[in-house]
Structure 1
Amino acid sequence: MFVAAEQKQLRWYNIALLAFVAVWGLGNVVNNFYNQGLTVIVSWILIMILYFVPYTLMVGQLGATFPAEGGGVTSWIEKLSGKKLAFFAAWTYWVVHVPYLAQKPQAILIAFSWLFQSNGSFVNSNKGMMVQLLCLVLFLFFMWMSSRGITTLNRLGSIAGSAMFILSILFILLGVSAPMMTGSTIATAHMDQLSSYIPKFDLNYLTTIGMLIFAVGGAEKISPYVNKTHDPAKEFPKGMIALAIMVAISAVLGSFAMGMIFDAHHLPADLYANGAYMAFQRLGDFYHVGNLFMWVYAVTNAMASMAALAVSIDAPLRMLLADADPHFVPQALSKKNKHGVYINGYVMTAILVGIIIVLPAFGIKGMNDLYGWLLNLNAIVMPIRYLFVFLAYMMLSRQLKKFHSYYTFTKSKTVGFIVGLWCFLFTAFGCILGMIPKAGFVHDVTGWWFQLGLNIITPIGLLALGLLLPIIARRHEIAEKL
């Protein structure tokens, strides 16, 4: 009894901080500022209220309802629906990481280029195919390391993650206070006028919603903490509201800082790739410390990216294959080497990631355009996994009497279902419209159609592969019985 009480000592502020570190980063500010400029500030406020808060509270109820289920979304779906849909949830969770894995080598190379060159020339001067082949080699090297059970980078990741969190806060403090502390000029005009912050809700704006969803997603990572919270019915929602406030403040002030450092009406074309480095470099100039801030950020981001790449190669694959049902996943994929690594799963990963790395370079020539396209592809693909969170909540809202929970977002079946459906449709809407190529990374009609084709084919193709595995698994089962 004492142990049980001891395990439930997390307070609302602990939950808020744990979740904040898990879901937030400086890149979210930079990427969305590039998409929307100062108007992103209103967008941040809207998405926090209309999407992020209900999202986190739904995750809280799901986590509290199924506290013993370590598989997260997949386990929730299995309890609420069955093994078939649970398999597709598990497949989706894994396969959406493929574009993520394809981009991490780019991030590592960019970080080192800034560390050694102190400028963004690597992104702007190198041909796409050459860089992508280098990315492929780097990715395969990390695959080899992971296949041998080398986990050094995993341990560095926690250090780098904490450092990135500190740097994100430092960026806000230094950026917002720079004009007062250093006398630097505010780069964006009319920041004191309300009209500068009102979005124009046209098609161009709607195509950027997916990036906002991508930025605030991932709240399901915190579900295991619900039942470790003191008085979860009261403290968990309080923690989630605190989280939303923290994220909103960070997003709003971070965007203010970006507006003070960069002219929101004339943003550099390479802001996606180089924006954070340029921002820290300019802050270093403001505070007369040279490239110090930029170097610290480059080292930290390189470490964080390498750790994220190493972890993301192995962890999602283990979630897919660790307790895989042989009716849905071929036994061959569950084969392990002497290091306990799913070696055939690694081969499948290498093939898919290799295609995503190399194929686009045949139609997208510049490194900056490739980086921008791949980042936007992640904003299309990664949020697809959130759909299963909302689907699980909609199913749970129909079965409230069947499942007990210490914490309930809403006791109304109808309200719960409607909120879940809203988040589901909003996410799908953002993913679909995000497929429209972004003007900043397209320079001709042929390139526009090429990117549109990739944006449509890639998510459909990755998801469709999940339909093939059960067919292959059944054939293997039949063959073994003969």
Structure 2
Amino acid sequence: MNETGVKKLTWQNLALIAFVMVWGFGNVVNNFANQGLKVVGSWVLIISLYFIPYALMVGELGSTFKDGKAGVSTWIKSTMSPKLAYLAGWTYWVVHVPYLAQKPQSILIALGWVTTQNGKFIKGFSPLVLQSITLLLFLFFLWFASRGVNSLKKIGTIAGISVFVMSMLYIVMMIAAPSITGVKIATAHITLKSFIPDFNFAYFTTISMLVFAVGGCEKIAPYVNDTKEPSKNFPKGMIALAIMVAVSALLGSVAMGMMFDANNIPVDLKMNGQYYAFKTLGNYYGVGNLLLILYAIANMLAQISALAFSIDAPLKILFAEGDKKYIPASLMKTNKYGAPINGYKMTAVLVGILIIVPALGIGDMNTLFNWLLDLNSIVMPIRYLWVFLAYMALRGFAKKKFLSEYKFIKNDKIAFFIGLWCFSFTAFACIMGMFPKSKANTSEYTFQLVLNLLTPFVLLGLGLILPLIAKISNKKNAINGSEDIS
């Protein structure tokens, strides 16, 4: 028990909380779709060389700045400067724009599987028509989120846990299927070489999806100081998390290779793979589409909840310790529900553009879905760069020393180098991810490449404009204030 009477977390509790936060079945499906069974070797490398040090660095930062309200922004503000802290907060918000643009697609896909159980629901629409429906759906949930989303939180939590449990159940049932049901393994002639990646250009264009899959563990930071003996138990929890992620990733990828031919992967596996998996699993065990329907309903509700909260939470994080020198006061204006309403309008404009513009140059829905998912894997990891920058500042060039209950590595030079490695690897993965992976014609490939290059720069560049607007706004308010006084 702590001073307030709240029970302290054990390392086992911490590992389970972190696992649910970081991991999902889509991580297995999307990376198997990119690499086939060779992803097994990729998981071993990414978890050992990237994910474990990443998680332990987050533990140290969270322990050092335990009283901060804005997460990474607090870390940057404390070790570097308020202006960089604003840019970190802006990055954490703006990288959610592609995420928000895809969530309504995922809701429609899940709804289609609930109603038809065959994945053909969205195939009857042209990309422009379907994206228009997607935009209307997004605007509805934007309005819904602006009125408070407390009632959706419980539904989302239950649905999210259900999706998670069913994802784990899939791995167990699929690996057991050959011995229980006699089903044949889809991928023939599996050898050790089947699991070893080909380190060529095409391979390196897919590693951003791996980084995207294991990233985001900075969400765990608030729990560091709620952990019993954090200096001892937090690293235990993070190592346990890494083992759980590794087991889930490796066994999940093997299970996918047992169900789908790794040498002939369906072109729409990223879009429909989770539903194909549960439909096929139900057929193996003689329960028809029951598992598919349960998973599709749970996933649809989880996606709805995630959309609503992803509209609201990142904006509130951006404004939590917002400095009026960098953020126009008008953006911080809230409605009677406490929602930053002008921030919502800015979100609507950016997401609306990203929903409609790609549909003008990408010819089919499957390619559009895959492109937007790949764009997320390029843009989302950019926020992790701030984590590693904060860590390098903490252990390398911060002007003052900070006390921490837990240190990942005692030697400052080694700690700084590991932070630099993770920073460099993340940047490399994002850059390589910009090269399209779809086998499109030249004009469509060029269109995707241009969007991949422009989107991160435009989204991040907008963050440099807001301080200029804030400066003009503040000056105008100061003049008006002085006139009122006179």
Identity within the alignment, %: 56
Q: 2:377 aligns with which of 372, 379, 387?
A: 379
Does structure 1 retain, via aligned residues, the 8 Å contact 2:122–2:130? no
For 2:113, give the aligned amino acid: W
1:351 is the counterpart of 2:346: no
Which residue does the alignment assign to 1:92? 91
Which residue does the alignment assign to 1:453? 450
Deviates most, 303-312 or 161-170: 161-170
Tell me how far apart the structure 1 counterparts of residues 124 and 347 of structure 2 sit (CA, whole Å): 30
1:19-30 superposed matches below 5 A:
19-30=18-29
Name the SS for the 1:256 alignment partner.
helix
Cα RMSD of the aligned pairs, angstroms, is 1.2
Tell me how far apart the structure 1 counterparts of residues 363 and 47 of structure 2 sit (CA, whole Å): 37
Which residue does the alignment assign to 1:4? 3
Does structure 1 retain, via aligned residues, the 8 Å contact 2:362–2:368? yes
Tell me how far apart the structure 1 counterparts of residues 472 and 8 of structure 2 sit (CA, whole Å): 50
Does structure 1 retain, via aligned residues, the 8 Å contact 2:149–2:308? no
**1:123 Cα deviation from its structure 2 partner:** 4.2
Does structure 1 retain, via aligned residues, the 8 Å contact 2:51–2:242? yes
For 2:201, give the aligned amino acid: L
Deviates most, 200-209 or 333-342: 333-342
Number of matched pairs = 478
**1:6 Cα deviation from its structure 2 partner:** 4.8
Name the SS for the 1:4 alignment partner.
coil
Deviations 1:304-327 (A, max 9, x none): 000000000111111112332110
Tell me how far apart the structure 2 counterparts of residues 124 and 207 of structure 1 sit (CA, whole Å): 27
Which residue does the alignment assign to 1:406? 405
Which residue does the alignment assign to 1:82? 81
Tell me how far apart the structure 1 counterparts of residues 273 and 125 of structure 2 sit (CA, whole Å): 18
1:120-159 superposed matches below 5 A:
120-159=119-158
**1:479 Cα deviation from its structure 2 partner:** 1.4
Which residue does the alignment assign to 2:431? 432
Tell me how far apart the structure 2 counterparts of residues 8 and 153 of structure 1 sit (CA, whole Å): 27
Does structure 1 retain, via aligned residues, the 8 Å contact 2:149–2:309? no
Tell me how far apart the structure 2 counterparts of residues 451 and 229 of structure 1 sit (CA, whole Å): 45
Tell me how far apart the structure 2 counterparts of residues 410 and 400 of structure 1 sit (CA, whole Å): 19
Name the SS for the 2:405 alignment partner.
coil
1:37-186 superposed matches below 5 A:
37-186=36-185
Does structure 1 retain, via aligned residues, the 8 Å contact 2:30–2:270? yes
Name the SS for the 2:121 alignment partner.
helix
- Shift of the 188–52 alpha-carbon distance from structure 1 to 2, 3 Å rule, reads same
Which residue does the alignment assign to 1:291? 289
Tell me how far apart the structure 1 counterparts of residues 432 and 202 of structure 2 sit (CA, whole Å): 9
For 2:147, give the aligned amino acid: R
Does structure 1 retain, via aligned residues, the 8 Å contact 2:69–2:321? no
**1:334 Cα deviation from its structure 2 partner:** 1.0
Tell me how far apart the structure 2 counterparts of residues 114 and 133 of structure 1 sit (CA, whole Å): 20
Does structure 1 retain, via aligned residues, the 8 Å contact 2:278–2:291? yes
Deviations 1:166-193 (A, max 9, x none): 01110110111111111001000122x1
Which residue does the alignment assign to 1:476? 473
Does structure 1 retain, via aligned residues, the 8 Å contact 2:69–2:320? no
Q: Normalised by the size of structure 1, how large is the TM-score?
A: 0.97
Deviates most, 77-86 or 313-322: 313-322
**1:164 Cα deviation from its structure 2 partner:** 1.4
Does structure 2 retain, via aligned residues, the 8 Å contact 1:123–1:273? no
Name the SS for the 2:270 alignment partner.
helix
Name the SS for the 1:390 alignment partner.
helix
Which residue does the alignment assign to 1:218? 216
Which residue does the alignment assign to 1:200? 198
Name the SS for the 2:188 alignment partner.
coil
Name the SS for the 1:451 alignment partner.
helix
Name the SS for the 2:233 alignment partner.
helix
Which residue does the alignment assign to 1:333? 331
Which residue does the alignment assign to 1:231? 229
1:368 is the counterpart of 2:360: no
Q: Which runs of 5+ in 1 are unaligned?
A: none
- Shift of the 478–82 alpha-carbon distance from structure 1 to 2, 3 Å rule, reads same
Q: Normalised by the size of structure 2, how large is the TM-score?
A: 0.97
For 2:42, give the aligned amino acid: S
1:247-258 superposed matches below 5 A:
247-258=245-256
